[in-house]
């Protein structure tokens, strides 16, 4: 009799095995010729070599489903394990770049985060070919949301070890000094849009762990000084509020195996009037460097309420 050992270390066992181990019992019934024993983060399976091979292939699809959706029901189990015509191949299939609205990442409870416009899809394609990507456009075009989704996908696929999200802590008509609380409490409101995006893509319990062990780090741009950021996916949001020196400092933090995305809206600069936005300079001098791509999003990419596009038109942000 042959033995197969499988790790479920990165899987929530409560989701995989179901309430009262109902899912576990269903899985055992699907493979009556095998002896399946689950202990902690390991599954031990005993049986014929051919049966073990079939089980191994199907069970891996099941684990992928749980890891991506953080959800599992009886229909999913039957579909993945019960027949050759199943959802399983689609889970592991390469993304078809010709399709519209392809899923970038699955969030909690099966939420699908998609590239919903042509320029968002260009962002998805571009980051595969380039290590630095500038995504420039007005509010509501999904540039930050898409960038965060790409970072989460890279983390889930184990392409990188960490995600670092940063923003300049620049006052937009308010004064930081008059806000209540310590430094973290003063700065957190500026970083809230990044937290909001992550909430849609990572289960709350797992996100809390990631933030505590710094697998995901969210910090003001000033905290990047002096660091080398490697084996990670780094996003600079609201880059129009970074000065020339700050943006130069940020871009030169890049380690050999890092990916950088810079997002910004050149129509919403909150810097003092006498201070030039570093984003303007970067877009001018970095255009022709191989490995750096610049994508301009427009009103056609607005994915918020339909009135947002009309508001942008009224303010002249859309040509």
Highest mean pLDDT among 41-50, 96-105, 288-297: 288-297
Domain closes at, from 45, 66, 92: 92
- How many angstroms separate the CA atoms of 12 and 243, rounded? 44
Query: Is 37 strand, coil or helix?
Result: strand
Q: Above 90 in pLDDT, residue 145?
A: yes
**Residues 126, 82: one domain?**
no
**Residues 35, 148: one domain?**
no
Residue with tokens 């008059």: 178
Q: What is the pLDDT of residue 101?
A: 53
Confidence of residue 170 (pLDDT cuts 50, 70, 90): low
Highest mean pLDDT among 50-59, 75-84, 173-182: 50-59
The CATH number linked to 66 is: 3.30.1370.10
Q: Above 60 in pLDDT, residue 7?
A: yes
Over residues 188-201, mean pLDDT: 83
What domain range includes position 65? 2-92
Do 163 and 215 form a contact (C-beta atoms < 8 A)? yes
Over residues 135-147, mean pLDDT: 92
Q: Above 50 in pLDDT, residue 153?
A: yes
Q: Is residue 174 part of a domain?
A: yes
**Residues 82, 119: one domain?**
no
Q: Is residue 295 part of a domain?
A: yes
Higher local confidence (pLDDT), 300 or 16: 16
**What percent of the chain shows pLDDT beyond 70?**
84
Q: What is the pLDDT of residue 295?
A: 96
Q: Is residue 97 part of a domain?
A: no
**C-alpha separations of 124 from 77, 87, 227, 268, 315 in Å:** 30, 23, 27, 25, 29
Q: Above 90 in pLDDT, residue 136?
A: yes
Higher local confidence (pLDDT), 104 or 169: 104
Q: Above 80 in pLDDT, residue 62?
A: yes
**Residues 286, 310: one domain?**
yes
In tens, the pLDDT along 67-126 reads 877 778 777 787 787 643 233 333 333 333 333 456 788 877 667 788 888 899 999 999
Residues 6+ apart with CB under 8 A from 112: 103, 106
Highest mean pLDDT among 60-64, 134-138, 156-160, 301-305: 134-138
Domain closes at, from 43, 71, 92: 92
Three-class SS of 258-289? CEEEEEECCCCCCCCCCCCCHHHHHHHHCCCC
Q: What is the pLDDT of residue 84?
A: 34
Tokens of 36: 């399946």
Domain closes at, from 39, 71, 92: 92
Residues 6+ apart with CB under 8 A from 38: 8, 13, 17, 24, 44
Tokens of 159: 């392409």
**Residues 127, 219: one domain?**
yes
Task: Please list the alpha-helical segments (H only) found in 179-304.
Answer: 183-199, 204-212, 244-251, 278-285
Do 119 and 298 form a contact (C-beta atoms < 8 A)? yes
In tens, the pLDDT along 204-213 reads 899 999 999 9
**Residues 195, 48: one domain?**
no
Question: Structural domain tally of the chain?
Answer: 2
Residues 6+ apart with CB under 8 A from 244: 276, 278, 281
Q: What is the pLDDT of residue 123?
A: 95
Q: Is residue 122 part of a domain?
A: yes
Q: Above 90 in pLDDT, residue 306?
A: no
**Residues 127, 162: one domain?**
yes
Strands of the sheet with 42-47, listed across from one edge: 2-7, 42-47, 35-39
Q: Is residue 172 part of a domain?
A: yes
**Residues 172, 254: one domain?**
yes
Q: What is the mean pLDDT of the chain?
A: 83
Highest mean pLDDT among 69-73, 97-101, 169-173, 238-242: 238-242
User: CA 107, 109, 112 angle in degrees (round to 5)?
Assistant: 40
Over residues 274-300, mean pLDDT: 92
Q: What is the pLDDT of residue 183?
A: 54
Over residues 281-306, mean pLDDT: 88
Do 132 and 293 form a contact (C-beta atoms < 8 A)? yes
**Residues 143, 72: one domain?**
no
Q: Above 90 in pLDDT, residue 61?
A: no
Q: Above 60 in pLDDT, residue 176?
A: no
Largest separation between any pair of C-alpha atoms in the chain: 77
Q: Is residue 98 part of a domain?
A: no
Q: Above 50 in pLDDT, residue 47?
A: yes
Q: Above 50 in pLDDT, residue 251?
A: yes
Helix (H) or strand (E) holding 150, with range, is helix 143-156
């Amino acid at each position: 009799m042959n033995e197969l050992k499988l790790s479920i270390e990165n899987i929530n066992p409560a989701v995989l095995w179901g309430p009262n181990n109902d899912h576990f019992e269903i899985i055992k019934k699907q493979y009556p010729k095998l002896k399946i024993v689950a202990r902690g983060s390991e599954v031990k399976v005993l049986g014929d070599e051919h049966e073990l091979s079939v089980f191994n292939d199907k069970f891996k699809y099941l684990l992928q489903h749980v890891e991506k959706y953080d959800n599992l029901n009886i229909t999913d189990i039957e579909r993945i394990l019960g027949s050759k015509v199943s959802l399983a191949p689609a889970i592991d299939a390469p993304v078809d770049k010709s399709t519209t609205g392809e899923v970038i990442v699955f969030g909690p409870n099966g939420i699908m985060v998609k590239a919903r416009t042509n320029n968002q899809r260009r962002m998805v394609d571009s980051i595969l070919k380039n290590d630095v990507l500038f995504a420039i456009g007005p509010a509501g075009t999904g540039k930050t949301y898409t960038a965060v989704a790409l970072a989460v996908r890279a983390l889930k696929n184990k392409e990188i070890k960490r995600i670092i999200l940063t923003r300049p802590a620049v006052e937009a008509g308010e004064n930081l000094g008059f806000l209540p609380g310590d430094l973290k409490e003063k700065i957190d409101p500026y970083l809230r849009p990044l937290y909001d995006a992550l909430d849609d893509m990572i289960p709350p319990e797992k996100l809390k762990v990631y933030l505590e062990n710094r697998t995901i780090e969210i910090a003001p741009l000033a905290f990047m000084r002096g660091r080398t950021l490697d084996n990670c996916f780094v996003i600079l949001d609201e880059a129009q509020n970074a000065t020339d020196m700050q943006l130069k400092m940020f871009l030169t933090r890049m380690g050999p195996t890092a990916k950088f995305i810079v997002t910004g809206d050149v129509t919403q600069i909150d810097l003092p009037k006498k201070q030039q936005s570093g984003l303007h300079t970067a877009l001018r001098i970095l255009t022709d460097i191989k490995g750096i791509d610049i994508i301009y999003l427009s009103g056609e990419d607005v994915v918020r309420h339909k009135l947002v596009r009309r508001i942008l038109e009224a303010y002249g942000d859309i040509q």
